Each structure stands twice: as C-alpha cells, then as structure tokens.
Amino acid sequence: MNKKINTDIEILKSLNPEQQKATSHINGPLLIIAGAGSGKTRVLTSRVVYLIKNNVLPWNILALTFTNKAAKEMKHRIAELIDLQSADRVWAGTFHSIFARILRSEAELLGYNPYFSIYDADDQLSVIKKVMDLLQISKQQYSPQAIRAVISSNKNKMMSWRDFLKTADTPFDKKVVEVFKEYELYLKNTNAMDFDDLLLNMVKLLSLSNEILEKYQNKFKYILVDEYQDTNRVQYHILKLLAKAHQNICVVGDDAQSIYRWRGADIRNILDFQKDYPHGKTIRLEQNYRSTKTILKASNSVIKNNKNQIEKALWTENHEGDLIDVTECEDDRKEAEYIAKQVMEKSNKGLMKKDIAVLYRTNAQSLALENSFRMRSIPYVVVGGLSFFKRKEIKDVLSYIKLLINPLDNEALIRIVNEPPRGLGKTSIDHLSAFGRHKGISLFESFEIAEQNPNLQKRATKASKRFAGMINKYRELISSTSPDVLAKNLIEESGLIEMYEEISTDDSSDRLNNINQLLTDMSLYFNSNDELTLNDYLQQTSLATDYDEKDTSQDKVTLMTLHTAKGLEYEQIIIAGMEQGLFPLIRSEFSKDEEEEERRLFYVGLTRAKENLLLTYSRKRMKFGEVSNQIPSRFLEEIDSELLNFPNRRALTANGGRNNKKMNDFLSSLSNKKTPSKKNWSSEKKSEYNQIPQEENYSQINPTNERNDNAHLKVGDKVQHSSFGIGRISGLKGSGPKRQAVVRFDTVGRKMLMLKYAKLKIIE
C-alpha cells in the first residue's frame, strides 16, 4: 500500500482545484456542496482512494450511498485505482444494507435473533391490516395505507407510539396510535424489522452502552455520505453518534436536488452541518462538466423560482448546445408515439439507444411508452416499477425460505400456507392463530400441534400437520445441504411449480419463468462463495432494487421515473407528461413546499441531460379510465423562452387550453353520448385548474336527464354519511353519475365521495 503514496499526485492531477481540496482533506468534518454534474461521485471515490493511500485502513472507512448500485460502482472504481482486496474491505453500501448487516451480528443485544426478517412496505401493510382486524378497527373507515404512512413518518422522526400519543388529537390519529402500538409488538414477536427499524435500531444499539458506541466509532474512523440532502433525521442521529469521537465525517449533497422530503428527508441535516461541526470545512463544487450551456441555463432559470435554497452559481465550460425541444401532443398515446419516433430518428442519426432515457413523474405513465416502443420494436428497459423481488410468485418462493429461516415470521407463513391451495383457508388460519394466542405459542407451533386444537376440522388438522412437517423436514436439512439445492427441493415439494404448470396460461408461464430465474440466480449466488447462507441471500434480496441490476451492455432505451434518474446522466433526456397536475403533481397545488420539491425534481430531470433535452406534454390524457383535458405544466413557462424550440408556445401564453375548455367539454360530451354507458359526461378531473365555476359550466350543457338525488348539494352544506358521520362539503366536481363531493368529516377528515354511492343526507 505504501509504495503507492507517491502516486497521490496522479489522483489529484485530473481534478480541478476545489475537487482537489475536497479529495485531499483527511481529518475533520467536511461539507461538500456539489452542484449537479460537478463530479461529486468522482470526488467521493478519489477521497476514499486518497485516504487509503495515506494509510487509512480500508475497513475503517464507512461510505454510505443512496443505492446499492452506487456503492458497487464506487467499490469498482476503488478496485481499479488500488486493488480489489482493499476495495472489498471498505464498508460501502446503503444505510439500510450496512446497518442490517451490523444488526444481524448484534441482534441479541436488542432482543431480536440474528435471523430476523426484513419487511418491506407491502409486508408492513399486510401486518397493519391484520392488526386492524385484531383491534376491530374498520379498514373501510380508516385507510390502512394512510395509517402505514403515518406510522412510518413517525418512525422517520424518531417518534414512538408513546410520543405520538401525546400529540394525537383527531380520532384518526388516536386509531393510529392503537395500531402503531400493536404493530410494533407484532413485529417484535415475529422477529421482524421494517425498513425504518433498520435505522432506528441502529440508534438504539449505539445508545446501549459506551462500549458498543466506541466499538463502532473505532470501526468507522472515516465516514463519507453521498446524497446527504436526502437523509432523514434518524440517519442524521446515527451519523452524529458515530462521528462524535473522531469527527472525520465528510458529507456530499446538493440541496437543489433534495427530492425525498416526503419520505422523511430533512433539509436541516445539510443546513445544520456547520452548526454541528463548527470547525468543519465547506467546499463548493460549482463547475458542471456534464451539460451544455443551454441546459444549464434552463435548469438555473427553473430552480431560481424556489425560495428555499442555498445560493450557488453553477457554470460550465461546455459548448452552447442545441435549444431544448418542447412538443405538444394530442393525447398520451400520440405522445408516446411521438417519443418513439424521435428515438428512432436520433438513433438513425447515430445516437446509441442506451444514451437515451425517457423520464416521467408516475410509474403508470410507462405503459403507453412501452406499448409504442414495442410497436416499433425499439429495445427498451423499464427501471423500477414493479421490481422482480416484489412480484407475487417471487415473494411466495422467498417466503418459503423466510419461514425456514425465521419460524416466527407469520407474514411469510400466512402468505404461503395456502399457496398452492392446501385446504387451509381463512377460517382454519383464524382458528390456528386464536389457538396460538391462547396457548402463548407462535402460529407455526400451533400448526405443529394442530391435533390439540378443538375448533379445527379434521381435514384442516391433517393439512396443518402436513405443512408443518414439510417445513420442519427442510429446516433440519439446512446444515447438511447446500442452500440452493435445499431451496429448489423445498419449492418443488411445495407444489408451487406444479400449480403454475397446471394453470398454463400466459400469465402463469411468466410466473413459472420468474421462479426458475430466481432459482438459477440462487445457484449462481451460492456457487460464487460457499460461505454464503440462505440468510445472506434473503438479506440481499429484501434490500435489493431492480435498479441495482441495470445492464449497460445492451443498447436499450431506459424508461424510469424522475426519482429513479437521480445520480444518472444521458446524452438525450426526454421528459414526458409536462402537464399541470401531473408534473407538478396535483397535490403540490396546495402547498408551497411540495411545489418546491416538484420543482427540484424537474431540476434533477433537466440536469441529467448532457447534450439534448426534449419535453413533451399532452392535451388529453387517459386517467382513471377516462379522458381528462390537460394544461401544459407551469414549469415550462419558467424556462427562458430563448432557450426553447417550442412551436406551440402560444398555447401557454394565449391560454388556449382554458379558453377552449368549455367548447372541448361540450364536444367531448357529445361524442361520448353515442355510447350509452355510464360514462356519458366526460368528468372534470382537472377542475381545480379551470377558472370557470364548475356547477354553472355544467348545468348549462348538461340536460338533467340523470336522476340524481344529490343534485342540489352546495359547497358549505352540512351532510350526514352512513359510516363517516357528519361533515361539511368543501368542494364539488364532476357531473352526472361521476359527480363527486369533497367532504370534511368531523371524525375521519377529508374524503372524496362519489355522490352516486355516498347517499349523503343534508342536515342544514
């Protein structure tokens, strides 16, 4: 290692002065404010290399990244610059994966066992639903989704259910407290942690004793954090604890690219860095190496509309570049076709397809794009969306293995017990689980002693014993059989494969393929290193994302959300769906903060482009299975017009959309009339952007041929709902059978109701 010290100069040579300063800073806190495309990843990597070359031991370095892929890339580059062994011994990974690893080895100290399961958002939701059933809380009245979100956001703020109890004043919040409490108990009892626990338990671990704290402070003498602007308060606390002794913490971030506030990311983390480390140094990287002057100017002109931001001046020596194309399309299908056509043209001109990315705000938008790409046989890859490991059949297979490893994992157990059908339906499970609770044993144990259960039918008893027997048989083989063979045999005996073979539809053969692919992946995994266990595999899969296995060797166009695009760059970026309500998303209409976050997301999107940008929007878009009229995004107006090639710009300033709205609605209602379905009157999803008051607008063109008991409802009316109780109408939208009311209920808060179903009674 030492012999390479004299190559220090080599590492620094290709860096600009600021980058050099950042790289060669060894001891003490360091904040790097790094603008988009300023080479921050490069600096981070060179800094790790520099540390190692200055005799810092690789295993004393903790490098926390936002994705597993970023960590892998970093290791790869370190290996190139030093050697593979050193690179492998650096602790590089995401917060979640590194801490999960540590928590496994220290599990007992926190009252878990090392084989704890990791629950993702779907598992969380399923636990919450069970808990709600148990507590007899109506899932109709209180959305499990919403409860999940509140629980998670509390955990992100380090608030326990006890803390939340103090501030919970609405009936909804009080229910959340109940569920929260029971949820935590359930997870603990099933030896499981959710994603938030992986961070929270790390704080708990480090707070356990000075001995433990020092152990990890000394293990991680040098800490580097990428994407610091997107860390939450829990992560902040962990870092503070770890860095306290040696103060060697280097964080890199760009407040302008903070796009995960909704997930608990707290911008204070970056703003308070100087307060927390008064002796810390701050370095700004402001030269952009990625984009053309035009793209950079456009990005800057957009982001300057945000009030909350750290002043900075991003500049570039790159050439001026082409204007940014903006194209209006008739509807989302035409938009997708247009994009496919543009991709073809660019490709014919010599641009590689893998240098093109299409970005969109919501995953749902990928469908139209995929169709048009398939139609033209353009090779593409969708990143994100439904991840491989979130597919039903894959989760089923993994649940068999989870149950093998962690017998307490009820989620896994309930998931697979009747998959394939074994004659153990809801009734049997309820009996089994009630018996388990009564006896104070786990659910799996109550399967084992099913014959003692008086409520269980003979058939179900037999099936329970048989199922438990099968799992136990394989559990005993764990130590003596190679993991991949064990898994394969278990899955074969489970009957899962047989089941899909028998169904033999397109869908089931897809699923079969996926299962085989998983089994192949497992044998590759275990053959690479015979130290690895099934537990390691589960750990890896539960924290894996599709995004991590992106294959750049093939020439394919990339499709992904704007969020997923963070940290990436392409020659050509296409952003689809530049429409009010979609991007920025509808909710941001009501909150300045959310609007600013949307704008930062747009900034992220724009700054992904090296050479060319194309922005598209549609006049009409299918939403909820019906046509909705769209208005171009206000973000388009925020880009200096001289930077745009925008033939339809008039449409923005002349406000064509709004003026023609009435006529459009009338015309579309006429054409829809032909089909005598309940979709007669094209509803107005976008009404909040419509300046014309809805009610008047419709009463004129909508002959009241529809029987509607609630036609006379007005904003401000006090109404009674059969299950939600009393509330006041705060908004009305839509017409005919699709007419909806926004009602603020005393008990459950804001609800959007279809008048056709809701049967509201006017009280005042």
Partner DNA sequence: TAAAAAATCGTTTTT
Partner DNA sequence: CGATTTTTTA
- CB burial of 270-300 (b: ≥16 within 10 Å; e: otherwise) equals beebeeebeebeebbbebbebbbbbbbbbbb
- Least separation in angstroms between CB 491 and DNA: 19
426 interacts with DNA by CB under 7 A = yes
Identify the DSSP state of 3: G
Identify residues 609-648 at the interface with DNA (CB under 7 A).
623-625
> Measured between alpha carbons, how far is residue 73 from residues 76, 159, 224, 280 in Å?
5, 35, 15, 28
Chain CA centroid to CA 526, Å? 29
- Least separation in angstroms between CB 653 and DNA: 27
120 interacts with DNA by CB under 7 A = yes
- C-beta separation of 241 from 223 below 8 A: no
The binder of DNA chosen from 237, 361, 511, 621 (CB under 7 A):
361
SS3 435: helix
The stretch among 73-81, 218-226, 561-569, 663-671 that binds DNA (CB under 7 A) is: 561-569
424 interacts with DNA by CB under 7 A = yes
- Least separation in angstroms between CB 667 and DNA: 20
545 interacts with DNA by CB under 7 A = yes
Total residues at interface with DNA (CB under 7 A): 49
67 is catalytic: no
41 is catalytic: yes
Output 297 or 608, the one with its CB closest to DNA: 608
The stretch among 247-255, 267-275, 408-416, 543-551 that binds DNA (CB under 7 A) is: 543-551
From CA 2, how far away is CA 11, in angstroms rounded? 15
547 interacts with DNA by CB under 7 A = yes
- Least separation in angstroms between CB 277 and DNA: 25
38 interacts with DNA by CB under 7 A = no
- C-beta separation of 80 from 61 below 8 A: no
SS3 596: helix
Name the token pair of 324.
């940014």
Identify residues 242-271 at the interface with DNA (CB under 7 A).
259, 262-263
Instruction: Identify the CA nearest to 464 among candidates 502, 435, 487, 440.
Output: 435
555 is catalytic: no
Identify residues 562-591 at the interface with DNA (CB under 7 A).
563-564, 585, 587
The binder of DNA chosen from 28, 114, 171, 384 (CB under 7 A):
384
The binder of DNA chosen from 19, 94, 535, 607 (CB under 7 A):
94
Which is catalytic among the residues 23, 41, 294, 572? 41
- CB burial of 600-611 (b: ≥16 within 10 Å; e: otherwise) equals bbbbbbbbbbbb
SS3 201: helix
Which is catalytic among the residues 23, 257, 287, 572? 257
Alpha helices in 330-482 (DSSP H): 332-348, 366-375, 392-405, 410-416, 426-439, 443-448, 458-477
Output 25 or 721, the one with its CB closest to DNA: 721
Q: What does the DSSP assignment read for 290-355?
A: SS-HHHHHHHHHHHTT-SS------EE-S---PPEEEEEEEEHHHHHHHHHHHHHHHHHTT--GGG
731 interacts with DNA by CB under 7 A = no
From CA 672, how far away is CA 688, in angstroms rounded? 23
> Measured between alpha carbons, how far is residue 539 from residues 98, 100, 141, 403, 639 in Å?
11, 8, 36, 14, 45
- C-beta separation of 153 from 264 below 8 A: yes
219 is catalytic: no
Identify residues 489-528 at the interface with DNA (CB under 7 A).
none
Identify residues 140-199 at the interface with DNA (CB under 7 A).
140, 143, 145, 195
Output 94 or 294, the one with its CB closest to DNA: 94
Which is catalytic among the residues 226, 266, 328, 684? 226
- C-beta separation of 120 from 390 below 8 A: yes
The stretch among 3-11, 485-493, 542-550, 639-647 that binds DNA (CB under 7 A) is: 542-550
The stretch among 82-90, 303-311, 415-423, 649-657 that binds DNA (CB under 7 A) is: 415-423
> Measured between alpha carbons, how far is residue 427 from residues 37, 455, 667 in Å?
58, 10, 53
- Least separation in angstroms between CB 757 and DNA: 6
Output 254 or 546, the one with its CB closest to DNA: 546
Contact residues toward DNA (CB under 7 A) are: 66-68, 94-97, 120-121, 139-140, 143, 145, 195, 259, 262-263, 361-364, 384, 387, 418, 421-428, 457, 459-460, 543, 545, 547, 560-561, 563-564, 585, 587, 594, 623-625, 757
Which residues belong to the active site? 40-41, 226-227, 257, 608
